[in-house]
Structure 1
């Protein structure tokens, strides 16, 4: 099995979990977790570095010993360090570490007192009332354990689209190489660019069904074969991700692609429209009585019911069919429309590269300008900037800009919004910047009204430009804080502020609904990478995909403007 970045990150996380249970050195544990985070953040497969013989220890958070382990995993398909640790730790025990309220001491206590090792065993112990009898645990923690584990067992695992891509694109490339394959495409929620993906649907046309099916079920990442047949096969990868393969005839390709792309509610609405015209639509095509009249392409399917092309990102039955009928579908933003990036970090705070290195990477990514927006002083753990250090960076940026041709670094800050709505730095120093991004990094659990009022007060500060990652969510790990987004957007409109669409794959914040709300209110959105390293500018594509799901056009995006037009919008003449 060929390991990808997420596979290796999972191995390092498991090592860190076992070391945590063993009470190992804090810095050793942190090194594994930082390396796992780095691997997940990389948009380039680390296996490419190994194939080219590049020194992995030069990557952020990857030292010599961790680099050796990565090479071992990629070349041998195993990690001897993890195998040794697994022999020392009962199977399933690390799962318990991720239950809120259970640290290593409590997990070890549960093991020694109750003899539990898995979520299922712990759930039964909690339902029996035995957990609350363990010293240091009580009724409240017992009830939380029951709620958390029951939710975990019911919830279907979903991956961020960026992680799913690490599995979906290689298997697609593998299938495309099989002799006789004519079309091969990923459909489903992945094609609609949804933020998370539950499974992968691949559609293939070929005259050699048996060869394709055989190759699919024997792919080196396949752990289990759920079913196999001439037109449909399903497998589970080692990652736990389910992949379904569907083989269809060429004359049905467009209809099948449309059907399996979804969404379900969009497809139902389309079928009702067809029925009203005396037609029938299914995965095989469009039919008039029993006569097949369309289906080879998606365009032909839509044309048969008097509709133009509807981009996959819009197919959620949220007004797109009516807009298509009226020929009022938006011309969605594309990656080439993005002229600059207004949120990035360097080694001055928690980034991994220098000002000049980030500027060069931004230029290579086709950008004309880049805003440097370090964290402010309140975030001391990431070396946030105080007034003195920020002024020093302003001088550094001015010096670099005097040497650049055709590219500009903008002076900014990602300033903390305090609980009372004040900003973490003085208006005096903020006035020296090109833009000020306000961000919430604490007190996530304020009431809806208090959180909303807090952000609106921050927006009222004279130099506030943009609200970063507005809802604060982290996909799969942190829910959005309770916020009245309608009031926030209305206030942004009144104040002339902008909203960020943070393109980090685990944020993608704004969501699609809030993008549409901003568009309707006339509030511009900035698609920003929040780059902390050179490859992070690749994440802008995920931000564009999210913007497209939110119906955003080039004119709705702040950083599609030229530098001169941008500066005017930022209040600079």
Structure 2
């Protein structure tokens, strides 16, 4: 049974969290978290690396000890150190740390101060009003934890798009190699490229005698078979993700793909349009009476209701039907439109590669420029740069650009927006840069008005270019800070500022709704990877997915421009 990178990463993160609860050395805890991040970001399977005898210590943040642990997990499917630590700690603590609003430090405080050992103990302490008396909690935190406990388990489990992809792609490849299979497509929110995905819906067309259904339930990553019929089966993967497989006739494949791709609201509109023309539209095709008149392709389905093909990313019932009817669908941005990348880190702060290594990787992506945006000094945990270190990096970049061919490194910084709205570095050093990426990494809990005013004041600085990860959200682990995004978009337009679409799979920030709002307001976007290793440059495609969901065209994005034109756009 191959072990997925995500599986090992989750075990490393869990060990790090339990070590932090136990009070272990912070560097040891960080080493496991960093290793987990490296594994998640790898574009290839670590299981295959071990099988090929490759040296895992060449991976960022992976030393001999961690490499040995990875090999053990791959070869045995077990992680002895994690098993031992779980046995040594109260069983319920691991579940407590997964409650939204908590984390290892808070769980440690709850355990030591209140004797909380499980979710039930946490609930009793919260109901008794004991949590807000502890340092670092407060009334609001206590209320949020109580709300989470009351609603826990009531919603569908969601997976990051990239995590879903790591499960879906090997399964699609596996099914595609089964005898008689003609086509395999993952539908649903996965095909619409939503930031998070619930279950996977897979459609297959195949010959009548294909063993695809049996091969599906026999897939090595399946932990439980829920149902198994002749044309439909449902399984649960070892990751907990449910997968539905449907075998569809070729004559109905387009109709089924349209139906199971969704969204529900989009489909209802299309079906109503069909009824107005005397047609019935369902997953089997478009019917006039009992006669199927279309359904082999999605384009055929749309054509029957007088519409052109609508891209899956737009099918959210947000005006796409009207735009299609009026011939005003946007020509959505493509990955090939990108000419450069404007948010990237190196070893100078918390990245894992040198300037030259990042430049080489960017050139391999076919880009002509790459902005180096290491953190500024306020972010001490990331070894942020002060004025002197940044000045030296500027000199290094200028010297390296004289040697590089086909790629230009842009002198930049990810400069912190301080609580009062000032920037973390002086105008004197910011003036030397090609562009500035500005972001919030502190004081997340300011009121909506104060947080909004903070960013607006920063935008008034003439050396502010791009607002990075504007909402501050981390999907699945942190809500964005309270901020008036509409006011920020208006202020960005007035000041010639750019909003970032951060392509990190856990961020995807701006979200699709605000991408659309920004473009309609005339605010330009920058789709950037926030890369901390060369592998992260591959994340650009997730940013493209998010932008396409927001109706974004190539003209809306500054890094689709040549370097010469980009310089004009960022000059305020």
Match of 1:278 in 2: 278
Tell me, in whole angstroms, the C-alpha distance in 1 between the residues paired with 2:73 and 2:84.
14
Write out the 4+ residue segments of structure 1 that deviate beyond 6 Å after TM superposition: 130-139
Tell me, in whole angstroms, the C-alpha distance in 2 between the residues paired with 1:306 and 1:185.
25
Report whether the alignment pairs 1:152 with 2:156: no
Match of 2:66 in 1: 66
The residue matched to 2:329 in structure 1 has which SS?
coil
Report whether the alignment pairs 1:426 with 2:426: yes
- Which of 90, 104, 107 does residue 108 from structure 2 map onto? 104
Q: Structure 1 residue 210: deviation in Å?
A: 6.8
Match of 1:122 in 2: 121
The residue matched to 1:435 in structure 2 has which SS?
coil
Mean Cα displacement is larger for which, 390-399 or 139-148?
A: 139-148
Match of 2:560 in 1: 560
Tell me, in whole angstroms, the C-alpha distance in 1 between the residues paired with 2:131 and 2:487.
44
The residue matched to 2:152 in structure 1 has which SS?
helix
Match of 2:229 in 1: 229
Match of 1:293 in 2: 293
Q: Structure 1 residue 271: deviation in Å?
A: 0.4
Match of 1:524 in 2: 524
Deviation string for 1:483-508 (max 9, x for gaps)?
Answer: 22121111111111111111001111
Q: Structure 1 residue 358: deviation in Å?
A: 0.4
Q: Does structure 1 retain, via aligned residues, the 8 Å contact 2:431–2:463?
A: yes
Q: Does structure 1 retain, via aligned residues, the 8 Å contact 2:20–2:29?
A: yes
Q: Does structure 2 retain, via aligned residues, the 8 Å contact 1:44–1:535?
A: no
Report whether the alignment pairs 1:314 with 2:309: no
Report whether the alignment pairs 1:333 with 2:345: no
Deviation string for 1:431-467 (max 9, x for gaps)?
Answer: 1110011111111121222111111111111111111
Mean Cα displacement is larger for which, 220-229 or 122-131?
A: 122-131
Q: Structure 1 residue 222: deviation in Å?
A: 1.0
Q: Does structure 1 retain, via aligned residues, the 8 Å contact 2:127–2:146?
A: no
Q: Structure 1 residue 290: deviation in Å?
A: 1.1
Mean Cα displacement is larger for which, 387-396 or 84-93?
A: 84-93
Consecutive unaligned residues in structure 2, runs of 5 or more: none
Match of 1:478 in 2: 478
CA gap 1:77/1:296 in 2 versus in 1, 3 angstroms:
same
Tell me, in whole angstroms, the C-alpha distance in 2 between the residues paired with 1:198 and 1:478.
19
Q: Structure 1 residue 250: deviation in Å?
A: 1.0
What does 1:231-270 correspond to in 2, within 5 Å? 231-270=231-270
RMSD across aligned C-alpha pairs, in angstroms?
A: 2.3
Q: Structure 1 residue 129: deviation in Å?
A: 5.1
Return the TM-score normalized by structure 1.
0.94
Match of 2:511 in 1: 511
Match of 1:53 in 2: 53
CA gap 1:25/1:407 in 2 versus in 1, 3 angstroms:
closer
Deviation string for 1:203-262 (max 9, x for gaps)?
Answer: 111124672111111211111111121122111111111111111111110000110000
Q: Does structure 1 retain, via aligned residues, the 8 Å contact 2:3–2:74?
A: yes
Mean Cα displacement is larger for which, 239-248 or 186-195?
A: 239-248
Q: Structure 1 residue 189: deviation in Å?
A: 0.2
Match of 1:201 in 2: 201
The residue matched to 1:223 in structure 2 has which SS?
strand
Q: Structure 1 residue 517: deviation in Å?
A: 1.0
Deviation string for 1:381-440 (max 9, x for gaps)?
Answer: 211111111111111011011111221111111111111111111111111110011111
Q: Does structure 1 retain, via aligned residues, the 8 Å contact 2:179–2:210?
A: no
Report whether the alignment pairs 1:162 with 2:162: yes
Deviation string for 1:169-225 (max 9, x for gaps)?
Answer: 111111111101111111000000000001111111112467211111121111111
The residue matched to 2:31 in structure 1 has which SS?
helix
Deviation string for 1:9-42 (max 9, x for gaps)?
Answer: 1111222233344443433333222212222233
Report whether the alignment pairs 1:17 with 2:25: no
Q: Does structure 1 retain, via aligned residues, the 8 Å contact 2:362–2:407?
A: no
Tell me, in whole angstroms, the C-alpha distance in 2 between the residues paired with 1:551 and 1:185.
23
Q: Does structure 2 retain, via aligned residues, the 8 Å contact 1:131–1:138?
A: no
Mean Cα displacement is larger for which, 205-214 or 159-168?
A: 205-214
Report whether the alignment pairs 1:405 with 2:409: no
Q: Structure 1 residue 105: deviation in Å?
A: 4.8
What does 1:395-474 correspond to in 2, within 5 Å? 395-474=395-474
Mean Cα displacement is larger for which, 177-186 or 227-236?
A: 227-236
Q: Does structure 2 retain, via aligned residues, the 8 Å contact 1:126–1:143?
A: no
Tell me, in whole angstroms, the C-alpha distance in 2 between the residues paired with 1:423 and 1:130.
39
Mean Cα displacement is larger for which, 356-365 or 135-144?
A: 135-144
Deviation string for 1:308-329 (max 9, x for gaps)?
Answer: 1100000001111111111211
Q: Does structure 1 retain, via aligned residues, the 8 Å contact 2:93–2:107?
A: no
Tell me, in whole angstroms, the C-alpha distance in 2 between the residues paired with 1:438 and 1:554.
23
Return the TM-score normalized by structure 2.
0.94
Mean Cα displacement is larger for which, 35-44 or 265-274?
A: 35-44
The residue matched to 1:71 in structure 2 has which SS?
helix
Mean Cα displacement is larger for which, 464-473 or 210-219?
A: 210-219
Q: How many residues align?
A: 567
The residue matched to 2:203 in structure 1 has which SS?
strand
Match of 1:86 in 2: 86
Q: Structure 1 residue 143: deviation in Å?
A: 5.5
